[in-house]
Amino acid sequence: MNKILTSIFAGIFLVIISLNFISAVIIDSVNAQKLQPGETGSVSVVVKNTLNDNIEDVSFVLQLSTTPFTTSGSSEDSEDEIRDDDEETFNFILKAPNDIEPGDYNIPYVITYTIEGDDTPKTKTGSFGITVSADTKLDFAIETKDAIIGRNGKITLEIINEGLSNAKSVSVKINPEGFELISKDKVFIGTINAEDSDLVTWDVAFKDENPKLNVEITYKDFDNKDQTETINIPFNVYTKDEALKLGLIKKNNSMLYFGIIVFIILIWIIYRQTKKALKKRANKSGR
């Protein structure tokens, strides 16, 4: 019975010692800059010694072979000693490739150390997270159709996403100035992918010579935060005379053509009547 109890207590003691070794080194905090594609950023990892003994020859190595990241400098940092219940910071410079997809990534690591008085190396493995973000950069272009005062036409806004992050839940609200809106004033687009564009077209009635396209664009960025951009872009609208000079419209010659046709008909009628009158006169003379 005593042997059994001794074995049980010995087993419990070994488990406690093992757990103590496992938890001897913990990652207390990670301070990592949010990277953009093609950028470098610093990463600071705070390692705490929770063992009741000092640890020595502490090496922290980033395992980057399974990740798209590289380091600017070494992927290893080390400390001679971390005293009991103390902590040290290990610093690295990570670089994200130009073609990396924005998102969250895990960075594996291996910590190697020895316990004071014991030269047997011990290791701890794990990983920490890092985020690669990207900006949304919008640009705009306007196109009009039949932009002539007094006429109905169209205004088309092209929204161009020149950034590396998608613009999500995009909606566009227009505030007319110098024209009357015929179609609805708010349009939901959805997602405009990075390096892509989308179009919004409104039916309008042009009223003034100096109109402006006043538009409010709302969307969610990479971090799902609401963003708003407002644009006020003037554009050209022409009078009928200006449009004729520029060749935007053709002069309506229907009345001229109608007058020519009427004139020809009158000439034909006069010719017919004159011919009949001359024929009658000739017949009377022959008698």
Grade residue 205 by pLDDT with cuts at 50, 70 and 90.
very high
Paired tokens of 254: 């229907």
What does the pLDDT look like over 129-158, one tens digit per residue?
Answer: 999 999 899 999 999 999 889 899 999 999
In the chain, which segments carry CATH 2.60.40.10? Answer: 24-132, 138-246
Q: Considering only CA atoms, which of 139, 130, 164, 115 is closest in space to residue 41?
A: 130
pLDDT of residue 9: 44
Q: How confident is the model at residue 13 (pLDDT cuts 50, 70, 90)?
A: very low
pLDDT for 20 beyond 50: no
Q: Is pLDDT above 90 for 272? A: no
| Burial of 158 per CB tally in 10 Å (0-12, 13-18, 19+) | middle
CATH class of 24-132: mainly beta
Top CATH class, 138-246 = mainly beta
Buried-exposed string 1-26: b where 16+ CB fall within 10 A, e elsewhere: eeeeeeeeeeeeeeeeeeeeeeebbe
Gap between the Cα atoms of 94 and 81, Å rounded: 25
pLDDT at 263: 72
φ/ψ of residue 243, rounded to 5:
-65, -35
**CA-based R_g, the chain, Å:** 41
